[in-house]
Structure 1
Amino acid sequence: MPTANHADSMDAIYRTQRHIYDLTRKYYLLGRDRLIDDLAPPPGGLVLEMGCGTARNLIVAARRYPHAQFLGFDISEAMLENARASIMRAGLSDRIQVTKGDATAFTPRRLFGIGRVDRVFCSYTLSMIPGWEQAIEAGAAALAPGGRMHIVDFGRQQGLPEWFARGLHAWLDRFQVSPRRDMEAVVRQVAHERGLLVEHRNLYRGYAQYAVVRG
């Protein structure tokens, strides 16, 4: 899907959903806070979220790591309106910067005028991005030496009842969300090409999957 069409599609879905997004998603976007706890950026480090949505994760992370600076981008301007308002209410405008961007074709320099970042993370984002493989490549390319990329998203639900997986997929289809069954393989391939290491694990009986790419 062309970038402009995807942006329009996301705006159409979340123009109203954005107002209840954080309240409803906390019940099934499992593993987000675990990812944030693992970030541990260095003092003065730069942390970038791909697909920041309402900035919920950025705000939680900025409070968790007051010594770091945070950047985020999203393809949906509707979501970014909420993000900017939430950041201002949280009193974190001096430490969190967000802008519009496409995860499949971004660089930190193009979006924020900086070279590379110490941490990149994406939380339940790849399952919404056409061309998500390119997003993984772009995220890895944005890492400074010694940096890490953290990814959490829907898993294969292999340890859960079949009826549950069917119901979950039917619900996610309503929001153009497609769990990436081969995410681990793609992450490992990208890491191999860049000489990076990968840790991958399944969470909650396969409900979610969590990958960390590091130098």
Structure 2
Amino acid sequence: MDAIYRTQRHFYDLTRKYYLLGRDRLIAGLAPPEGGTVLEVGCGTGRNLIEAAKRWPKARFYGIDISAAMLETARAKVAAAGLSERITLAQGDATAFDAAALFGVERFDRIFQSYTLSMIPDWQGAIREAAGKLAPDGRLDIVDFGQQERLPGAFRRLLFAWLGQFDVTPRTNLAEVIDSTASAQGLRARFTPLYRGYAWSARLTAA
């Protein structure tokens, strides 16, 4: 990841805003409880955490990323936004991380994964790991590339070929993995295609 993002991190946010659709929709719907905890898995440059912290000023925010280069950029952006006291960042593997050791928090009211699963080899493990760290009544929200199922085939082929240049693989069976994770962990599942299937949104909610 550091090899991929060592250079990209400097212009990542400028370019991604045009095609990582649904991120702000996810953030607007987080609605954490007052004093609640919010974790982003795969926080990248910190862009989403900063936007979420501004929108939900009474919550506490945490982020993990496996890339030290991305975290360097994220910490600088968080500091520049004046949010260092409300956003805590740490290096961690999305498929296996000790939240208590990293943050002193074992479970979270809200967890989100925004365009990260399409880059994580064991993406199913990343979903299970995050779902297992939900507090009672907590929620895991996901947005990522869909299968472009209601868009022209030529667009799909062009987009997927381009994404492949960056080791990005949209997950064809995301809905099935969401359902199986919900069944295994006693959660409620919801799956919603967005923008004619350009993006897919999923939610797991703890009882």
TM over 0.5: yes
Question: Residue 113 of structure 1: CA displacement?
Answer: 2.2
Cα deviations by residue, 1:66-93 (Å, 9 ceiling, x for unpaired): 0000000101111111000000000000
Say whether 1:90 aligns with 2:81: yes
Are 1:44 and 1:67, in contact at CA under 8 Å, matched by a contact in 2?
A: yes
Say whether 1:176 aligns with 2:171: no
Are 1:107 and 1:142, in contact at CA under 8 Å, matched by a contact in 2?
A: no
In structure 1, which of residues 112, 122, 135 is the aligned counterpart of residue 103 of structure 2?
112
In structure 2, which of residues 116, 129, 139 is the aligned counterpart of residue 148 of structure 1?
139
| CA distance in structure 2 between the aligned counterparts of 1:138 and 1:164, rounded to whole angstroms | 33
| CA distance in structure 2 between the aligned counterparts of 1:23 and 1:174, rounded to whole angstroms | 18
TM-score w.r.t. structure 2 length?
Answer: 0.98
Name the CA shift for 1:130/1:110 in 2 (closer, same or farther; >3 Å).
Answer: farther
Are 1:148 and 1:213, in contact at CA under 8 Å, matched by a contact in 2?
A: yes
Partner of 1:101: 92
Mapping 1:1-215, distance limit 5 Å: 10-215=1-206
| CA distance in structure 2 between the aligned counterparts of 1:23 and 1:141, rounded to whole angstroms | 33
| CA distance in structure 2 between the aligned counterparts of 1:49 and 1:174, rounded to whole angstroms | 25
| CA distance in structure 2 between the aligned counterparts of 1:24 and 1:46, rounded to whole angstroms | 29
| CA distance in structure 1 between the aligned counterparts of 2:93 and 2:105, rounded to whole angstroms | 17
Amino acid in structure 2 at the alignment position of 1:75? I
Question: Residue 174 of structure 1: CA displacement?
Answer: 1.1
Question: Residue 13 of structure 1: CA displacement?
Answer: 1.1
Stretches of structure 1 that go unaligned for 5 or more consecutive residues are 1-9
| CA distance in structure 2 between the aligned counterparts of 1:168 and 1:150, rounded to whole angstroms | 24
Cα deviations by residue, 1:37-61 (Å, 9 ceiling, x for unpaired): 1100000000000000000000000
| CA distance in structure 2 between the aligned counterparts of 1:148 and 1:107, rounded to whole angstroms | 19
Q: How many residues align?
A: 206
Question: Residue 110 of structure 1: CA displacement?
Answer: 3.2
SS where residue 39 of structure 1 aligns? Answer: coil
Q: Which runs of 4+ in 1 moved over 4 A?
A: none
Cα deviations by residue, 1:170-193 (Å, 9 ceiling, x for unpaired): 111111100001011001100111
